[in-house]
């Protein structure tokens, strides 16, 4: 049995599970935000046994029969349907969180893509840069500080522009004209004069400063087991996408490509963190150097598959099968009509804006 742990907002799942369906493989999807309203849970910890019955799908997870777990994008358990005061809410939420993490721990016998405990470590961007540098990747000179004088000295040492990057937050919410709106936090390029102007703000929060990398293009590299899927993303020089392609990624040219010179380092990085899946962001400079920015161990990839045709979803399905002791050959090409229908449905799930524009949020 294959267990998929995610949330209702996750549009990537169907791009993999339709391959499992075509192969007749049993799988169960658990949307964690619905755990309090859509699941019947019975667990016997001493024997490592347990059942999670998902009401709306009618499918049941037998913990002892789970061979592989695909850990995607779980959300916090939603308790809004319960009339709870603040203290009771905090208690119930904490109990559900412990049940979830305890269940993950009880499933350590299974193969994970990726193990959530390993993923938590692998998400740490400070450690990512240390490991990448140790493994031979070229990394940008980086400083994290809340001391303005230290930051200004760093800018002088760089002798050029800096990039300001978030270490953890992907977005922020703000009230705009009485409506709550969400804004992405992307990389921004600043010069020393701008840093000097905002020096009084630096002391309020340790900030990540990097030397700004002038790039020819970016590589989005998705590793699934030992398979490597590389996509070249071409920013427009002089525009804001040159700072961070996420500002307008839907309009940029995406091209499937090869990067054999990076494979050994990519695999070493995955092994160092115990990962079976990872999405790497790497810049190719104007002198053709590859510069490691980060690796998201639970990154988005569907927009790359949709724009390039790279069979990432199929590769994940094959990895899940292999982890379950089944041959990848169990997955057969879909009939053309079914493939077109599935692709249309998947594109609908991956659209973030009206007009069908693909997105990424990592």
Q: Specify the pLDDT at position 225.
A: 95
Residue 108, burial from CB neighbour count under 10 angstroms (0-12, 13-18, 19+):
exposed
Q: Specify the pLDDT at position 281.
A: 95
The total number of residues shown for the chain amounts to 362
Q: Specify the pLDDT at position 197.
A: 87
**To 10 degrees, what angle do helices 312-323 and 14-22 make?**
60
Q: Specify the pLDDT at position 330.
A: 61
Q: Specify the pLDDT at position 355.
A: 37
For 221, the enclosing helix (H) or strand (E) is strand 215-224
**Residue range(s) in the chain whose domain bears CATH number 3.30.470.20:** 115-140+215-297
Task: Please name the residues in contact with 131: beta carbons below 8 A apart, sequence gap of 6 or more.
Answer: 269, 272, 273
Residues lower than pLDDT 70 in the chain? 169-175, 179-185, 237-248, 326-362
Q: How far apart are CA 12 and CA 60, in angstroms?
A: 21
Residue 295, strand partner residues: 280
**Pairing state of beta strands 68-71 and 111-113?**
parallel
Q: How far apart are CA 159 and CA 171, in angstroms?
A: 30
Q: Return the closest-CA partner of residue 207 out of 129, 143, 156, 128.
A: 143
Indicate the pTM of the whole model: 0.85
Q: Specify the pLDDT at position 248.
A: 60
Architecture of domain 115-140+215-297: 2-Layer Sandwich (3.30)
């Amino acid at each position: 049995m294959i267990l998929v742990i995610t949330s209702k907002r996750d549009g990537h799942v169907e791009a993999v599970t339709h391959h499992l369906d075509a192969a007749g493989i049993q799988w169960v999807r658990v949307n964690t935000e619905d755990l309090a309203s859509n699941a019947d849970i019975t667990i016997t910890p001493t024997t490592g046994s347990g059942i999670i019955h998902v009401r709306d799908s009618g499918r049941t997870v037998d913990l002892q029969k789970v061979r592989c777990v695909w850990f995607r994008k779980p959300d916090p358990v939603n308790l809004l349907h319960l009339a709870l005061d603040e203290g009771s809410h905090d208690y119930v939420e904490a109990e559900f969180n412990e049940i979830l993490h305890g269940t993950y721990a009880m499933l350590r016998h299974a193969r994970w893509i990726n193990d959530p405990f390993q993923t938590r470590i692998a998400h740490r961007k400070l450690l990512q840069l240390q490991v990448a540098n140790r493994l031979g990747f070229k990394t940008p000179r980086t400083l994290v500080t809340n001391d303005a004088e230290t930051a200004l000295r760093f800018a002088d040492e760089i002798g050029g522009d800096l990039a300001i990057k978030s270490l953890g937050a992907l977005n922020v919410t703000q009230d705009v004209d009485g409506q709550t709106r969400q804004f992405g936090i992307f990389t921004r390029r600043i010069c020393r004069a701008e840093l000097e102007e905002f020096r009084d703000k630096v002391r309020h929060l340790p900030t990540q400063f990097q030397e700004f990398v002038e790039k020819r293009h970016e590589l989005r590299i998705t590793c699934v087991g030992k398979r490597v899927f590389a996509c070249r993303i071409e920013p427009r020089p002089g525009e804001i996408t040159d700072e961070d392609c996420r500002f307008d990624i839907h309009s940029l040219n995406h091209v499937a490509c090869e990067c054999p010179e990076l494979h050994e380092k990519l695999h070493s990085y995955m092994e160092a963190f115990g990962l079976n899946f990872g999405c790497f962001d790497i810049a190719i400079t104007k002198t053709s150097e590859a510069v490691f920015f980060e690796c998201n161990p639970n990154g988005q990839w569907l927009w790359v598959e949709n724009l390039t045709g790279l069979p990432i979803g199929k590769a994940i399905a094959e990895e899940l099968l292999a982890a379950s002791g089944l041959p990848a050959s169990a997955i057969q090409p879909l009939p053309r009509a079914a493939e077109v229908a599935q692709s249309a449905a998947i594109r609908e799930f991956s659209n973030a804006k009206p007009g069908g524009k693909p997105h990424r949020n990592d």
